[in-house]
Amino acid sequence: AQSVTQPDIHITVSEGASLELRCNYSYGATPYLFWYVQSPGQGLQLLLKYFSGDTLVQGIKGFEAEFKRSQSSFNLRKPSVHWSDAAEYFCAVGPISGGYQKVTFGTGTKLQVIP
């Protein structure tokens, strides 16, 4: 069964500082990987996705993530955090093939940005 672990429940960073959110997955093959962001009381917005190819993927809002097969990780990074980045971030893993798509989410990391 596929699973996702986000070891950090809550992270606080200063505005302008760099950010890295950790994500580890368990899956039988190379999965499709996603990062979503959720602002309070809102639905989820897709930040970026990895399907294949270049292991460093760029997303919206200046975010990037790196797929490391040897570590089963897909960590999210941003060089300089803005106050508007404060939200909850979810890593998710999906099936390698098309067809019926069961996406499994991690428990999330809540990001607080301090001035």
Partner 1 sequence: DAGVTQSPTHLIKTRGQQVTLRCSPKSGHDTVSWYQQALGQGPQFIFQYYEEEERQRGNFPDRFSGHQFPNYSSELNVNALLLGDSALYLCASSLLSGRGEQFFGPGTRLTVL
DSSP states along 90-107: EEEEE-SSSSS---EE--
Binding status of residue 106 toward partner 1 by CB under 8 A: yes
Q: How many angstroms separate the CA atoms of 31 and 14, rounded?
A: 33
- Determine if 55 is a binding residue for partner 1 (CB under 8 A): no
Nearer of residues 73 and 105 to partner 1, judged by Cβ:
105
Please pick, from the candidates 28, 53, 98, 115, the single residue that binds partner 1 as defined by CB under 8 A. Answer: 98
Residue with smaller CB distance to partner 1, 48 or 81: 48
